[in-house]
Amino acid sequence: MKKPFVTNAQLQAIVRDYPTPFHLYDEKGIRQTARALKAAFSWNPGYREYFAVKATPTPAILKILQEEGCGVDCSSLTELMLSEKCGFRGHDIMFSSNETPAEEYALAHKLGAVINLDDFTHIDFLKGTVGEIPETISCRFNPGGVFHLGESHEGFQVMDTPEDSKYGFTREQLFEGFRKLKAMGAKRFGLHAFLASNTLSNDYYPALAGILFRLAVELQQETGCKIAFINLSGGVGIPYRPEETANDIAVIGEGVRRAFEEILVPAGMGDVAIYTELGRYMLGPHGCLVTKVLHFKHTYREYVGVDACAVDLIRPAMYGAYHHITVSGKEHAPCDHIYDVVGGLCENNDKFAIQRPLPEIKLGDLLVIHDTGAHGHSMGYNYNGKLRSAELLLQENGSVKLIRRAETPEDYFATMIFEE
């Protein structure tokens, strides 16, 4: 059974101060996950997690992760600016983007971020943009073909199979690229790949590590480039459905360690640092979307209309993603009613749940939509003139803090130009 991290009594108190809908985050859970991840890779002295900012670009959240020792992985100009504002400096920042505008490379370079190139042609583009190749540089690898691990359908909707995905260098381009970068002044090299998203398998990272470690040995031996770090990127998933089993990060860390001992250590590369860029795994389970039941509609189905909609959480509309729903205060009631839980957008895919067994719902009930801590609020938008919700933090001491205010109509109108 999936249990919300917030009780009905807590929620009833919170909604007296903050109107629904809102995203709520659990500080205690975030810190526990960050510590468990760090412990799982503590065998590697250079290990570091660079949190994927795009998952939850909220200063208070980044601050917590910074206190836990994480860096940040940025993919755009504003994410770089946000990270700088939050006090991340130099190599605390990884910059992994694609189709990158010149101004983004310029800022990443100015901040001293580690730049992770997505394509061979970006070597000259970077040099032309910032005037030099930084001493530390990373390249993203795409092995092509098909990468299979279990049946993570959604993973392939987000990422596609490697052969069909737009990211990364081919193997041949990597060898040529490393030689070229070395000739242009690079001294410390990184290797990165992201092959599948939301994997529910303790084998994904070890399998990816095996691929990257073998390639790193060949690259270092053939090109003489010093491989300083290997970045396993994101992709470790979370159990969105109650019947799914969570990944065990300790087992994952141990699997990567075994590949490291087997492949890198015998090649004399035991000093390579392992990096990760997890987003979903770090934050997903530690956020929820809280929404109030506004209407019932009895037509061909039983509809429950809520005050949140797809602008607050687009994953169900975009990927058909499952998000568990708990009716707050009815955690132990039998799920003997079948509902479609819907938002108010003029889009028929604006449904948080379709034909979902739930306890009997009453007007005014609070619904907790689970696992919205990553790729939830951050994927929000303003379609239908809907305004993005607030974000709240349930702190370790049990009190609640506003960490992002809800948008107001003034925000909505701020970019509009009205003719006189």
Contact residues for ligand PLP (CB under 6 A)? Answer: 52, 54-55, 73, 75, 96, 194, 197-198, 233-235, 277-281, 374
Nearer to ligand PLP among residue 50 and residue 339 (C-beta): 50
Nearer to ligand PLP among residue 122 and residue 280 (C-beta): 280
Please give the Cα distance from 216 to 199 (Å, whole number). 23
What is the residue-wise DSSP string for 73-119? EE-SHHHHHHHHHTT--GGGEEEE-SS--HHHHHHHHHHTPEEEESS
The residue whose Cβ lies closest to ligand PLP is 234
Q: Specify burial of residue 381 (Cβ count, 10 A radius: 0-12, 13-18, 19+).
A: exposed
Nearer to ligand PLP among residue 115 and residue 327 (C-beta): 115
Nearer to ligand PLP among residue 21 and residue 234 (C-beta): 234
Q: How far is the CB of 239 from ligand PLP (least distance, A)?
A: 14
Nearer to ligand PLP among residue 76 and residue 384 (C-beta): 76
Residue in 263, 196, 259, 189 with CA at minimum distance from that of residue 230: 189
Q: How far is the CB of 68 from ligand PLP (least distance, A)?
A: 16
Decide: 301 and 364 in contact? Cβ < 8 Å. Answer: no
Nearer to ligand PLP among residue 71 and residue 343 (C-beta): 71
Query: What are the respective helix, strand and coil percentages of the chain, to the nearest 5?
Result: 35, 20, 40
Positive/negative CA dihedral, 363, 364, 365, 368: positive
Please give the Cα distance from 264 to 213 (Å, whole number). 6
Q: How far is the CB of 375 from ligand PLP (least distance, A)?
A: 6
Q: How far is the CB of 377 from ligand PLP (least distance, A)?
A: 14
Decide: 42 and 63 in contact? Cβ < 8 Å. Answer: no
Positive/negative CA dihedral, 99, 101, 107, 112: positive
Q: How far is the CB of 278 from ligand PLP (least distance, A)?
A: 4
Structure tokens belonging to residue 238: 């979370």
Q: How far is the CB of 74 from ligand PLP (least distance, A)?
A: 9
Nearer to ligand PLP among residue 154 and residue 365 (C-beta): 154
Q: How far is the CB of 114 from ligand PLP (least distance, A)?
A: 12
Q: How far is the CB of 378 from ligand PLP (least distance, A)?
A: 10
Please give the Cα distance from 94 to 113 (Å, whole number). 6
Q: How far is the CB of 94 from ligand PLP (least distance, A)?
A: 8
Backbone angles phi, psi at 262, to 5 degrees: -75, -35
Residue in 129, 87, 138 with CA at minimum distance from that of residue 111: 87
Structure tokens belonging to residue 259: 């590949």
Nearer to ligand PLP among residue 168 and residue 255 (C-beta): 168
Q: Which helix (H) or strand (E) holds 394?
A: strand 390-394
Please give the Cα distance from 216 to 226 (Å, whole number). 9
Nearer to ligand PLP among residue 197 and residue 328 (C-beta): 197
